[in-house]
Amino acid sequence: MVALGFALFLLIGLMAFWLLAFVLGFAVPMWLTIGTMHMLRPKRLTDSEEDEN
């Protein structure tokens, strides 16, 4: 019974480790890159000026 508990502990711990590694290694850098590119994108003027002409 102790071995089953230890195996379950290792399974959950390793799953948490790999999820954290994925989030910190891929998801956060992608989120920061997309956010930075969105902030650096040139702004457009409103379309109301084009509709008046």
User: Per-domain residue ranges for the chain?
Assistant: 2-38
Rounded distance between C-alpha atoms, residue 7 and residue 18, angstroms: 16
pLDDT of residue 44: 79
Residue-wise pLDDT for 18-48, tens only, equals: 999 999 999 999 999 999 999 998 887 776 6
Cα dihedral 31→36→38→39 (10° resolution): 140
pTM: 0.63
